[in-house]
Structures are given as structure tokens and as C-alpha cells.
Amino acid sequence: MHETAQEVSAIRDMRLDRYREFQRRQRESLRASQQLSPGDSGPADPAADPGGRPTAEPSVPLSQAALAPTASPFGVLGKPINRYSPLYMGFVGTLGALLAIGLWRAASRLSTTLTILLVAAFLTLALNPLVEWLNTRGLRRSRSVALVFAGALVVFALLGVLVFPPVVSEGSQLLANAPIYVDSLLDSRWLRRLDENYDVIERLRTEINTRLTDADFIGRVFGGVLGAGRALANGVFQLFTILILTLYFLASLPAAKQAAYAIIPASRRPRVEPLAEEIMRRTGAYAIGQVTVAAINALCSYVMMRVLGIPYAAVLAVVVGFLGLIPMVGATIGAVLVCSVAFFDAPRAAVIAGIYYLIYQQLENYVIAPKIMARTVAVPGAVTVVAALAGGTLLGVLGALLAIPVAAGLLLLYEEVLVPRQRRV
């Protein structure tokens, strides 16, 4: 306890010395800007007591040579600008505010580019553990990157070959049978009772006919179709860009990390590097674990739907897999979607599917996910929910997916940096 008090006193004295040095430099700068002679009193010394005796280190007077004007072929240098002038400070502050506004507008215009970079960085951190695992087996990094990237492309190609044809056929079948589902919905007992009281069906029919005869509405529909085609083309281009950036990031990741660590002061580097490496390790492991959990959910859902005879099993399994990437709520949304489709075909199958998902969710939450996520992140439940909601609000599905490793990294900094520093002070 006595040693702790001495350390606190030493830290306090060091901060006081720094503050006195800062005051001394400020007084020298003010005298230089106003060209005071060494005998001038200048502004009142804030470090002096009421008796006039300075308690801090006395300021060093500037020499006459330092204050003398410097000769030049183009004339004599004028008096320096007073940096403490209200006009100067206001002008510099206004320039800073304008620069901040310009950077904010530039960031908003570059939102798509920043999103692509973020996705590529996330995929890089997800694939990097596999590359490092191959490095430990004796392969060079270039060959490891090529092998991992080629494996990822082969996996995506196989998924496309196996999943895309049934998804297209079942999706077209679903669109063809959509009128049948609408007719069955209109013939339901509860909708008829609602129509008898509020004339809902007639109002819907009138609204649809009005929309079909509205030229502006038709133009917006065709514009939306063209916009959807344009969005599809942009999506393919962005996907190709993400893959190329991921390849470049994987190949140059060690050099990029060394360049980033080089700008950190040498005294802080031994502390920063392990924390940054641990954050990147947790992020990559979380991405691989979340994809694995979602793939298991999609595969089990497909088997269950094939056994129960639920239509559009391939389409629904793909949707369940993508929704499973969303933390906390994605699997539940997928289960509700499957049960809703099954209800229109066979209500009994919908009940069985609901019971299956109720059991599977407990198995996933308490057996599958803890086994896979054992070495990834440890985030409290309340923090997970808040992080997922905040990330989903900011960046949609991508934000909800990235929110958990970001929260884990912030918790690591809280435990390893903030709490120990507060204990020392």
C-alpha cells in the first residue's frame, strides 16, 4: 500500500512538471508573437503566488538576436502572426469545421466503397486462420493463399451447381402457385367474416384496378424492374470486386500489419501488437464459426422439410442458411418463414416443423454453438443483443454480423487496458 502511494505521488509530480513546462512554452510563444523585450513584464505569470514569487520554473528570456528581424533579399521579415488572436483562432476553427463537414460528405458518398472494403477485410480475417494453419505445415504464404482462395471458390461453385438449379425451378414454381395461395387465403373463413363486416375484398379489388390503370404507377413498376436489373448487375460487379480485394488482402496481410505497427511508438508496440492480433483472431474465428452454425441449420432444415414433404425445400433451406448468419434472431426468422410456407400446404406439417425448430434451437444454443464458438468470442447476452441491434440499424445484415466481434474487441480493450489503468491511478 505504501509503494502504491509513492507511485501515485510520482505520477502526480510528473504531470505537474509537464503542466509547468507547457505554461513556460506558452509564455515564450506569446512573448515571441508580441515581440516583447527581455525587460518587459508581459502577461501575468499564472504560476506565481500573490507575493510575486514564482512557484514554477522561471521562463527563459528570449535573446535580442532571436527577436531581431531577419534580413532577406526580398525585404525584412515582419512580425509573426499572433496565434492567440480571436480572429486567427476563429479562422482556423472555421477551416477545421469545414474540413470535418467535407470529410463527412465524402464518407457518405463513398459508403458503397467503404462497405466493399469492410466485407473484404472481414473475409480476409475469416480466411487468414486457414492460411496460417497451412503455413505451420510448411507451405509458403503465397501457396497457402492460393490454395485457400481456390478452395473457397470451389466451395462456392459447388454450392451454386447443387443449389442454384433447384432454387430456380422451385422459385418459378412458387411464383406460378402464388395465385393459388392467394385464392386459398381469400376463401378462408376468417377473411370471409372480415369481408362481411368491412368489405375488404371489394376494396382490394378496386385498389388493384385503379393501380393497373394508372400510367404513373406502371411507369414506376417498369422503372423498378429496370432498377432491379441494374442492382443485380451492380451486385455481381461488387461481388467480383470483393473477391479480388480479399485475395490481395490475404497476400499482403503480414506486410500491412507490420506497416500499421510501425507507426505506433516503440514503447507501446509490445502492448498493442498482442491486443490487435487477439482481436483479429477472434474476428476470424467468429466468422468461420457463424458460417458453420448457419450451414448446419440449413442442412438440417433441408432434411426435415424433405422428410415432412414441405414444398420448396431447397429455396427455404438457402434462405434459412443466410438468415442464420444474423445473430440472435436470424434462425428464429427462418423458422417462422418455413412454418408459414408449410401451413399453406399442410397445417400438420407446420406444427411438426414448429416443434422441430423449438427443439433444434435449444440444441443449437446449448450444444452446437458453444462447441464451435468455444475459442471465438465471449460476450454477455445483453451486450450481444444491443450490439446486434445497433449493427443491424447501421449496416443491415452485415452490421449485425460484424457487431459481435466488434463488441468482443471492445470488451478485450476494456479488460486489458482500461481496467488495469484505472487500478494504477
Q: 388: which 3 cell numbers?
A: 446486434
Q: 257: which 3 cell numbers?
A: 500489419
pLDDT computed for residue 227 by the predictor? 53
b or e along 48-87 (b: 16 or more beta carbons within 10 Å of the residue's beta carbon)?
eeeeeeeebeebebeeeeeeeeeeeeeeeeeeeeeeeeee
When pLDDT is averaged across residues 215-229 and rounded to a whole number, the result is 54
Between 111 and 8, residue with greater pLDDT = 111
pLDDT computed for residue 208 by the predictor? 63
Q: How many of the other CB atoms lie within 10 Å of CB of 114?
A: 13
Whole-number Å distance between alpha carbons of 334 and 361: 11
Kindly state the greatest CA–CA separation across the chain.
101
Within 13 Å of residue 249, how many CA atoms lie on the same side as its CB? 19
Express each pLDDT in 352-362 by its tens digit.
999 999 999 88
When pLDDT is averaged across residues 212-226 and rounded to a whole number, the result is 55
Q: DSSP characters for 27-48?
A: HHHHHHHHT--TT---S--TTB
Residue 340 has pLDDT above 80, yes or no: yes
pTM of the model: 0.59
Q: By three-state DSSP, how is residue 362 classified? A: helix
Q: DSSP characters for 61-110?
A: PPPHHHHSPPP-TT----PPP-TT-HHHHHHHHHHHHHHHHHHHHHHHHT
